[in-house]
Amino acid sequence: MISLERLCRKNIWDLAPYSSARNEYAGREARVFLDANENPYNQPFNRYPDPLQLELKAALAKVKGVPAENIFLGNGSDEAIDLPYRCFCNPGKDNVVAIEPTYGMYKVCADINDVEYRPVLLDDHYQFTADRLLAATDAHTKLIWLCTPNNPTGNCLKHEEVVKVIEQFEGLVIVDEAYSDFSSQPTFRSVLSKYPNLIVLNTMSKAWGCAAIRLGMAFASQEIIGLFNKVKYPYNVNLLTQQQAIEALKDPYEVDNWVKILLQERTRMVDAFEMLPICTKVYPTDANFFLAKMTDAPKIYNYLVDQGIIVRNRHRVQLCNNCLRITIGTKTENSELIAALRKF
Ligand SMILES: *Cc1c(COP(=O)(O)O)cnc(C)c1O
């Protein structure tokens, strides 16, 4: 790996971050807080939240098996996707490489930050090879984006190829595991200590059922986490989100139960789709959704909208011609979708 200092933008490496009142006095034991120009009334909302979310990170460390010092928390994964660009990519000069198709935010953030985005098309099985991805890199490639299980295809990327990218690429490799709770594949956050150039993303938005609170996380070396903390807005995760996430983390067994039901439903849905005359193929999935190739995706999509049922039309996405992406819902919702499709 190239040294982090050389990978990092110089202005960010040299940055003196904003020092908030809560940074300068981080202890909680004092009695009187007259340092932050807060209103003394309207407890507990009058106080600025912990800028480093230490209580929440301690709870996450236990559930995720990653030390708190290796965790960054953001306003959704979206913040953890944007920060690597802002920290490492010089606008108009550096580039990033990603598989295609994949999650749309990697490209949107590249465009916003004026960073060249180099998509490398997956094969017919939605797989990639490390060699082809690495061939798209050059001396200005700072980041490689991998998403496994991948969105919108649903499948896991080949583990050995991901490892090969991490081991052979000199820059940073970001593995987005937003859907890993639905997969039996080993997670990359468990090998974090082995790879200083690895960043793993997780979110509370999918298996944890907390999309509304906006909490995403990055797992990486302490040095990378330190850079993210320097660049992020001082109070990027609000008090309500921190409190609600701590509550949710108290009951991981409930999440396990949801995942179990969703996986059973996924099997039922895939089987039902395979029987539909208007479905020509269901792609293998390791996530809480699956991609189905239909005879006429736009027409079927519009028909479902008329019935009040919304799925995701991926017809215009490369390699996803005539595909609909179906999220697994409750048993009732899933049955409604199948019933509607049988009547198409
Ligand atoms: C849904 C999703 C996320 C989650 O984004 P949040 O901002 O945390 O809600 C991240 N990555 C992928 C690939 C996703 O599909």
Evaluate: CB of 211 within 6 angstroms of ligand 1: yes
Determine contact, residues 171/195, Cβ cutoff 8 Å.
Answer: no
What's residue 21's pLDDT?
82
Tell me the pLDDT tens digit for each residue of 272-285.
999 999 999 999 99
Q: Helices 239-249 and 54-64 sit at what angle, rounded to 10 degrees? A: 30
Confidence category of residue 333, pLDDT binned at 50, 70, 90: very high
Residue 119 main-chain phi, psi, to 5 deg: -80, 140
Segment (H or E) for 162? helix 159-168
- How far is ligand 1, taken at its centre, from the CA of residue 205, in Å? 7
Structure tokens at 333: 């919702």
pLDDT at 266: 98
pLDDT value, residue 145: 98
Residue 6 tokens, joined: 């050389």
Q: Is the pLDDT of residue 26 over 80?
A: no
Residues in the chain: 344
Give the model's confidence band at 24: pLDDT under 50 very low, under 70 low, under 90 confident, else very high: confident
> For residue 190, how far is its CA from the centre of ligand 1 (angstroms)?
20
Residue 311, phi then psi, degrees to nearest 5: -115, 180
CB distance 205 to ligand 1 below 6 Å: yes
Quick one: pLDDT at residue 56?
98
Out of 157, 203, 219, 312, give the residue to mutate to test ligand 1, the one with the largest number of ligand atoms within 8 Å of its CB.
203
Instruction: Identify the three-state secondary structure at position 339.
Output: helix
Closest listed residue to residue 81, CA positions, set 165, 199, 197: 199
Q: Which residues contact 252 (CB under 8 A, 6 or more apart)?
A: 63
Q: What is residue 290's predicted lDDT score, i.e. its pLDDT?
A: 98
Atom number in ligand 1 closest to CA 216: 8
Q: Is 288 in the pocket of ligand 1 (CB under 6 A)?
A: no
- pLDDT, one tens digit per residue, over 113-148 is 999 999 999 999 999 999 999 999 999 999 999 999
pTM of the model: 0.97
What percentage of the chain has pLDDT greater than the value 90? 95
How far is 48 from 50, CA to CA, in rounded Å? 7
Q: Quick count: other Cβ atoms within 10 Å of Cβ 312?
A: 16
Is 283:154 a contact under the CB 8 Å cutoff?
yes
